[in-house]
């Protein structure tokens, strides 16, 4: 078990920098999600850590050892592939035994370790099955057992849920988290799904166009994004563009394009800013409230989803605003005029990137 | 530096590719290129290859009536064999592609078997069949259809029959592959729209199998005009096609320059047709 | 006649026609087998009398036996090397970013497009210049050129059907590149290698148009030997020899079908 440190890691394809100087630390025993839209370079980072892609610059340190120039097969890492990459011509047990055989573990011991590993992922009865006879979830468990049985220094997970249906995905998410805590292994988890990223990690690193946007614990990331990109990518926050007009006690006074002013929390350098407003922080009211931020709006689309309801509103200046309210109280039809209101404490401001 | 070069060759695959590529370069491309100057040297009977350069062999091959007749005969053979293979092969391929019979794999092997059987043996079978006292003539005489045996060896009709037999499996295998991949629901759609089976076949099935027909036809045509063993054994030393002519120029007459020129003409026909057809196939594919 | 009855008759008609064509395909084979048992000294069908003396004649003829062994030896060596070279090429083309990949695979396939006789005469001149004519190595190289398209094509097809990540998985699990290929990729592409090898074997064992030009006087292959024998004149011993080859091919085909499902690759 070791910590992972990346120092100014770079990978170029022609003139394009797929990974553009990433520095990142994953503490020993902790779980870091690396999340970003497809093509942001996150998988390239993971494959460089595994040794499957050669970096053009920077260093990879595991437990203080520089692995940058160490061959793949000498790194002793565990990797669960997106496709699972189980050996189709071997049984489940043979798949799990593969890494142990490469390490010259005695035969008797291998059998025991394989049994234990399969027990750990609850596949005891399926040891002699071929991979194609397994369900998606069972294949993934096999891949996990195969990666963990060699007691790797790191566990790398490359979009491990993308081939599972929604129900199994939730189940495996909990399963992997449980295993990771049991084993206490340092884990780097790559995903494009912000829900998965937040749900499993101690730390979340958001990546965009080859660079890191923000690295923070899930709650901080959600409550206090430092960029418009993170605010939108994590939880699809509303972003209201405006200018800082003044300060009133704890609050910043922001003038929106429509001329209306709203209060928000946080600090930015310069005037241009965007107010980050979470959908679930928006309340809908029939009359304006002088105590809170309150903007006149019209319901455009109403979508009822049981516990919650989703509204798409149009503000006076034509900007759109998403609101998520408890489903029990949602009965507004499209065309209804409402007031959208929220507390300044539920907002944060970020620099206007555009 | 050398390790970096080695790494690069490993990454871009050229390290692995170099043995096969060197083989093709040294034992395929270079020999072919070395024949270009040969085809441009004069040939002096009794003395061999002369000095200087001349295009006379190409000119002669494309103007002399003796050569033109052989080239024409080769192309006619290719064309008619292709048509026969198409006419016989399409129904068989259609049957093999659509049959539900549990014998299907074995019927397919009956098509593959002649392909794997030594070409000389298959040709020998046709000699036994087509000879003056062969099975075909004996049957014809016995049935009273003809009085004296028909000449089927050392002429066009013998070559036509044997070559059609020999290249039919290629046509069938190509067509089976294409017909099996035709979307059946399109045919069903045509039937529900009121088309009879004939209309459905002519307007839907046949046009959809056109890429296969094209590919199979080009293959059979090229194989036929390139064939050496069968024309040589069934045509004898006198009834010639292009490849047996080349064979004689090199091994009997030792007129390498003329043989080389003829080789390039034959190659131009074969390779030209193949590249043309793949261009057409690409357009068909893009249009679909 | 009802539409359904018409449909049934069409299906029967098609099946009957297909049966006729299949019979036509097998006709020369049957004829050769029958002719090999005739007791006459000329070819005749149906055979007159019944004798095995033509088989005796063939099996006691040293030239035929030597040619058979030489053809088998050549084909086996060609097959083995062709599989190795074909695997190298197919692996590179499917698992590496090869510059100008379409041009390179086109080049690897091009011996298929060239008439055999042209390759033969080109090698005749080239081998005469380089002194390879009549040598085993010369034959081997020539046969590799004409078999490589088959091994590359079938192995490429089975590479395309395999997950490239399994080799990466083996590497991460501690296998060096060679072991990763041997343990993870090779077992998956084995059917393609077998099928390609079978094609290579047959192509080499049957070849006349290229071989006849570069054979020289030291060696003789079986098909060239039969070819030359027929040019001198046919007799039932050639039918007997042909029947032996027919039986061998049939056994080969059935075994190949059992091993790799041969008809899928044809």
Name residue A277's beta-bridge partners.
A238, A347
Same domain? A64 vs A194: yes
Chain B interface, mutation test: which of C95, C102, C118, most B Cβ atoms within 10 Å?
A: C118
Contact A98 C175 (CB under 8 A): yes
Is the confidence at residue C177, as pLDDT, over 60?
yes
Residue of C nearest to B105 (CA): C263
Does B257 reside within a domain?
yes
Same domain? A66 vs A213: yes
pLDDT at C44: 67
Does A336 reside within a domain?
yes
Instruction: Decide if C253 touches B, using CB distance below 8 A.
Output: yes
Listed by number, the residues of chain C in 89-118 with a beta carbon closer than 8 Å to a beta carbon of chain B are 89, 91-93, 95-99, 104, 107-108, 110-111, 113-118
Number of domains within chain B: 1
From C8's Cα to the closest Cα of chain A, the distance in A is 41
Does C208 reside within a domain?
yes
Of A72, A83, A103, the CB nearest to C172: A72
The last residue of a domain, from among A171, A189, A223: A223
Alpha helices in C36-115 (DSSP H): 53-59, 62-95, 101-109
Q: Which residue has the higher pLDDT, A59 or A328?
A: A59
Contact C176 A76 (CB under 8 A): no
- CA–CA separation, A154 and A50 (whole Å): 9
- In this prediction, residues B55-83 reach a mean pLDDT of 93
pLDDT at C261: 66
Does B22 reside within a domain?
no
Give residue-wise pLDDT tens across range B140-189: 888 888 888 888 888 899 999 999 999 999 999 999 988 988 888 888 88
pLDDT at C263: 57
Does A231 reside within a domain?
no
- CA–CA separation, A113 and A107 (whole Å): 10
Give residue-wise pLDDT tens across range A38-67: 889 999 999 999 999 999 999 999 999 999
Residue of B nearest to C241 (CA): B121
Which residues in C lie closer than 8 A to residue A76 (C-beta atoms)? 174
Whether C91 and C162 have beta carbons less than 8 Å apart is answered as no
DSSP states along C122-136 = HHHHHHHHHT-TT-H
Same domain? A257 vs A209: no
In degrees to the nearest 10, what's the CA dihedral of A135, A139, A140, A145? 140
Does A343 reside within a domain?
yes
Beta-carbon contacts of B226 under 8 Å, excluding residues fewer than 6 positions away, are: B243, B266, B270, C115, C116, C117, C118
The last residue of a domain, from among A167, A202, A223: A223
For C160, the domain range is: 61-264
From C265's Cα to the closest Cα of chain B, the distance in A is 10
Q: What is the 3-state secondary structure (H, E, C) of chain B?
A: CHHHHHHHHHHCCHHHHHHHHHHHHHHHHHHHHHHHHHHHCCEECCCEECCCCCCHHHHHHHHCHHHHHHHHHHHHHHHHHHHHHHHHHHHHHHHHHHCCCCCHHHHHHHHHHHHHCCHHHHHHHHHHHHCCCCHHHHHHHHCCCCCCCCCCCCCHHHHHHHHHHHHHHHHHHHHHHHHHCCCHHHHHHHHHCCCCHHHHHHHHHHHHCHHHHHHHHHHHHHHHHHCCHHHHHHHCCCCCCHHHHHHHHHHCCCCHHHHHHHHHHHHHHHHHHHHHHHHHHHHHHHHC
pLDDT at C39: 66
Q: Is the peptide bond prior to C46 cis by the omega test (within 30 degrees of 0)?
A: yes
Same domain? A117 vs A218: yes
Does C28 reside within a domain?
no
B43-44 and A187-191 as β-strands: parallel, antiparallel, unpaired? unpaired
User: Within 10 A of A8 (CB to CB), how many other CB atoms are there?
Assistant: 12
Of A50, A73, A147, the CB nearest to C176: A73
Same domain? A170 vs A102: yes
Does B51 reside within a domain?
no
Whether A78 and C150 have beta carbons less than 8 Å apart is answered as no
Whether B244 and C121 have beta carbons less than 8 Å apart is answered as no
Does B149 reside within a domain?
yes
Which residues in A lie closer than 8 A to residue C166 (C-beta atoms)? 85-88
Does B161 reside within a domain?
yes
Which residues in B lie closer than 8 A to residue C29 (C-beta atoms)? 113-114, 117, 122, 125
Which residues in B lie closer than 8 A to residue C97 (C-beta atoms)? 11-13
Same domain? A171 vs A289: no
Number of domains within chain A: 2
Does A230 reside within a domain?
no
pLDDT at B248: 92
Same domain? A51 vs A123: yes
Whether A96 and A145 have beta carbons less than 8 Å apart is answered as yes
Alpha-carbon distances of B127 from B173, B238, C23, rounded to whole Å: 26, 16, 18
Give residue-wise pLDDT tens across range A122-163: 898 999 999 999 998 899 999 999 999 999 999 999 998 888
Same domain? A275 vs A141: no
Contact C10 B197 (CB under 8 A): yes
Is the confidence at residue B288, as pLDDT, over 50?
no
Of C165, C184, C188, the CB nearest to A81: C165
Which residues in B lie closer than 8 A to residue C35 (C-beta atoms)? 128
Same domain? A156 vs A81: yes
Listed by number, the residues of chain A in 149-168 with a beta carbon closer than 8 Å to a beta carbon of chain C are 150
Same domain? A240 vs A199: no
pLDDT at B1: 45
Sign, CA dihedral A242-A244-A246-A250, equals positive
Name residue A216's beta-bridge partners.
A204
Look at chain B and count its residues.
Answer: 288
Does C18 reside within a domain?
no
Q: ipTM value of the model?
A: 0.90
pLDDT at C125: 94
Name residue A246's beta-bridge partners.
A253
Q: What is the 3-state secondary structure (H, E, C) of A75-124?
A: CCCEEECCCCCCCCCCCHHHHHHHHHHHCCCCHHHHHHHHHHHHHHCCCH
Q: What is the 3-state secondary structure (H, E, C) of A228-242?
A: HHHHHHCCCCEEEEE
Instruction: Decide if C115 touches A, using CB distance below 8 A.
Output: no
Give residue-wise pLDDT tens across range C142-153: 999 999 999 999
- In this prediction, residues B48-69 reach a mean pLDDT of 89
Whether A43 and C141 have beta carbons less than 8 Å apart is answered as no
Exposed, middle or buried: residue C183 (CB in 10 Å: 0-12, 13-18, 19+)?
buried
Question: How does DSSP classify residue A215?
Answer: E
A261-264 and A251-256 as β-strands: parallel, antiparallel, unpaired? antiparallel
Q: What is the pTM of this model?
A: 0.86
Count each helix (H run) and each strand (E run) in chain C, helices first. Answer: 12, 0
Contact B17 C142 (CB under 8 A): no
Beta-carbon contacts of C117 under 8 Å, excluding residues fewer than 6 positions away, are: B226, B228, B243, B246, B247, B263, B266, C209
- CA–CA separation, C69 and C73 (whole Å): 6
pLDDT at A214: 93
Number of domains within chain C: 1
From B65's Cα to the closest Cα of chain C, the distance in A is 23
Q: Which residue has the higher pLDDT, A329 or B21?
A: B21
Q: How far apart are the first and last CA of chain C?
A: 41
Name residue A205's beta-bridge partners.
A34, A215
For B91, the domain range is: 57-287
For A209, the domain range is: 4-223
- In this prediction, residues C94-113 reach a mean pLDDT of 90
- CA–CA separation, C134 and C117 (whole Å): 17
Residue of B nearest to C228 (CA): B233
pLDDT at C172: 95
Contact B226 C115 (CB under 8 A): yes
Alpha-carbon distances of C56 from B67, C50, C53, C64, C242, rounded to whole Å: 45, 13, 5, 12, 14
Instruction: Decide if C168 touches A, using CB distance below 8 A.
Output: yes
From C204's Cα to the closest Cα of chain B, the distance in A is 11
3-state secondary structure of A58: strand
Residue of A nearest to C180 (CA): A73
CATH number of the domain enclosing A116: 3.40.50.300
- CA–CA separation, A283 and A324 (whole Å): 8
Contact C32 B125 (CB under 8 A): yes
Those chains having 3 or more beta-carbon pairs within 8 angstroms of chain A are C
- CA–CA separation, A50 and A54 (whole Å): 10
Those chains having 3 or more beta-carbon pairs within 8 angstroms of chain B are C
Same domain? A218 vs A251: no
The last residue of a domain, from among A194, A223, A252: A223
Does C174 reside within a domain?
yes
Q: What percentage of chain A reaches a pLDDT higher than 90?
A: 53
Beta-carbon contacts of A214 under 8 Å, excluding residues fewer than 6 positions away, are: A205, A206, A221, A225, A226, A227, A230
Closest CA to A121 of A147, A96, A144: A144
Give residue-wise pLDDT tens across range A83-111: 999 999 999 999 999 999 999 999 999 99
Does B202 reside within a domain?
yes
Does A141 reside within a domain?
yes
Phi, psi dihedrals of residue A271, rounded to the nearest 5°: -95, -45
From B64's Cα to the closest Cα of chain C, the distance in A is 21
Exposed, middle or buried: residue A57 (CB in 10 Å: 0-12, 13-18, 19+)?
middle
Instruction: Decide if A71 touches C, using CB distance below 8 A.
Output: yes
Whether A93 and A118 have beta carbons less than 8 Å apart is answered as yes
Residue of C nearest to B234 (CA): C231
- In this prediction, residues A265-284 reach a mean pLDDT of 85
Same domain? A100 vs A243: no
Give residue-wise pLDDT tens across range B229-285: 999 999 888 899 999 999 999 988 889 999 999 999 999 999 998 888 888 877 776
Give residue-wise pLDDT tens across range C22-61: 999 999 999 888 888 776 766 666 767 777 878 888 888 8
* Look-up of token digits 């050549």: C74
Give the mean pLDDT of chain A.
Answer: 89
Is the confidence at residue A283, as pLDDT, over 60?
yes
pLDDT at C232: 84
Does B124 reside within a domain?
yes
CATH number of the domain enclosing B124: 1.10.3720.10
């Amino acid at each position: 078990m070791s910590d992972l440190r990346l120092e100014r890691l770079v990978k170029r394809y022609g003139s394009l920098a797929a990974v553009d100087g990433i520095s990142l630390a994953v503490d020993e025993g902790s779980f870091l999600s690396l999340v970003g839209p497809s093509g942001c370079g996150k998988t390239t980072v993971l494959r460089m850590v595994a040794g499957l892609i050669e970096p053009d610059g920077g260093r990879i340190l595991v437990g203080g050892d520089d692995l940058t120039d160490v061959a793949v097969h000498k790194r002793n890492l565990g990797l669960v592939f997106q496709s699972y990459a189980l050996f189709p011509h071997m049984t489940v047990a043979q798949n799990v035994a593969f890494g142990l055989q490469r390490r010259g573990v005695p035969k008797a011991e291998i059998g025991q370790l394989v049994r234990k590993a399969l027990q750990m992922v609850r596949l005891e009865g399926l040891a002699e099955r071929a991979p194609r006879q397994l369900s998606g979830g069972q294949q993934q468990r096999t891949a996990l057992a195969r990666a963990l049985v060699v007691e790797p220094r790191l566990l790398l997970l490359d979009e491990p849920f993308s081939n599972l249906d929604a129900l199994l995905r939730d189940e495996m998410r909990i399963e992997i988290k449980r295993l990771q805590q049991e084993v206490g292994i340092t884990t780097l988890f790559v995903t494009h799904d912000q829900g998965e990223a937040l749900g499993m990690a101690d730390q979340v690193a958001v990546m965009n166009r080859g660079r890191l946007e923000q690295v923070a614990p899930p709650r901080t990331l959600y409550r206090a994004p430092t960029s418009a990109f993170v605010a939108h990518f994590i939880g699809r926050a509303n972003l209201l563009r405006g200018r800082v007009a003044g300060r009133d006690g704890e609050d910043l006074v922001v003038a929106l394009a429509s001329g209306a002013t709203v209060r928000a929390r946080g600090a930015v350098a310069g005037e241009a800013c965007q107010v980050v407003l979470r959908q679930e922080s928006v309340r809908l009211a029939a009359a304006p409230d002088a105590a809170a931020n309150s903007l006149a709006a019209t319901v455009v689309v109403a979508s009822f989803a049981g516990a919650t309801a989703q509204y798409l509103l149009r503000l006076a200046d034509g900007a759109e605003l998403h609101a998520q309210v408890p489903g029990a109280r949602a009965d507004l039809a499209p065309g209804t005029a409402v007031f959208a209101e929220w507390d300044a404490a539920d907002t944060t401001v970020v620099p206007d990137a555009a | 530096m050398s390790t970096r070069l080695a790494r690069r060759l490993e990454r871009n695959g050229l390290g692995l590719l170099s043995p096969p590529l060197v083989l093709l370069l040294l034992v395929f491309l270079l020999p072919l290129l070395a024949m270009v100057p040969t085809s441009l040297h004069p040939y002096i009977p009794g003395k061999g290859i002369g000095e200087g350069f001349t295009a006379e062999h190409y000119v002669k091959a494309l103007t002399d009536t003796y050569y033109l007749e052989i080239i024409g005969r080769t192309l006619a053979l290719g064309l008619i064999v292709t048509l026969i293979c198409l006419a016989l092969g399409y129904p068989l391929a259609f049957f093999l592609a659509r049959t539900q019979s549990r014998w299907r794999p074995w019927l397919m092997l009956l098509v593959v078997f002649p392909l794997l059987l030594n070409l000389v043996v298959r040709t020998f079978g046709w000699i036994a069949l087509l000879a003056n006292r062969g099975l075909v003539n004996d049957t014809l005489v016995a049935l009273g259809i003809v009085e004296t045996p028909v000449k089927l060896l050392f002429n066009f009709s013998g070559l036509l029959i044997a070559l059609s037999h020999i290249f039919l499996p290629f046509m069938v295998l190509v067509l089976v592959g294409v017909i099996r991949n035709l979307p059946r629901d399109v045919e069903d759609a045509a039937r529900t729209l009121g088309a009879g089976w004939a209309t459905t076949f002519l307007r839907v099935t046949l046009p959809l199998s056109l890429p296969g027909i094209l590919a199979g036809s080009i293959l059979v045509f090229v194989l036929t005009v390139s064939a050496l063993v069968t024309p040589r054994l069934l045509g004898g030393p006198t009834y010639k096609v292009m490849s047996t002519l080349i064979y004689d120029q090199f091994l009997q007459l030792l007129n390498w320059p003329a043989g080389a020129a003829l080789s390039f003409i034959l190659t131009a026909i074969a390779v030209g047709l193949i590249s043309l057809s793949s261009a057409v196939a690409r357009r068909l594919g893009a249009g679909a | 006649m009802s539409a359904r009855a018409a449909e049934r008759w069409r299906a029967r008609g098609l099946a009957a026609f297909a049966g006729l064509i299949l019979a036509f395909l097998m006709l020369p084979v049957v004829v050769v087998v029958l002719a090999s048992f005739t007791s006459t000294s000329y070819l005749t069908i149906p055979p007159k009398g019944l004798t095995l003396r033509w088989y005796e004649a063939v099996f006691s003829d040293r030239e035929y036996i030597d040619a058979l062994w030489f053809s088998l030896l050549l084909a086996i060596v060609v097959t083995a090397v062709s599989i190795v070279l074909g695997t190298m090429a197919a692996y590179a083309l499917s698992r590496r970013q090869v510059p100008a990949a379409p041009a390179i695979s086109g080049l690897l396939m091009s011996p298929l497009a060239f008439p055999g006789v042209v390759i033969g005469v080109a090698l005749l001149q080239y081998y005469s210049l380089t002194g390879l004519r009549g040598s085993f190595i010369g034959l081997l190289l020539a046969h590799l050129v004409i078999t490589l398209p088959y091994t590359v094509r079938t192995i490429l097809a089975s590479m395309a059907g395999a997950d490239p990540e399994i080799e990466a998985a083996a590497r991460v699990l501690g296998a060096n590149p060679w072991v990763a290929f041997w343990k993870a990729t090779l077992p998956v592409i084995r059917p393609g290698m077998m099928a390609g090898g079978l094609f290579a074997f047959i192509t080499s064992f049957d070849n006349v148009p290229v071989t006849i030009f570069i054979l020289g006087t030291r060696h003789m292959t079986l098909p060239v030997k039969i070819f030359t024998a027929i040019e001198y004149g046919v007799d039932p011993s050639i039918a007997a020899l042909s029947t032996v080859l027919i039986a061998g091919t049939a056994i080969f085909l059935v075994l190949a079908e059992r091993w790799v499902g041969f008809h899928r690759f044809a």
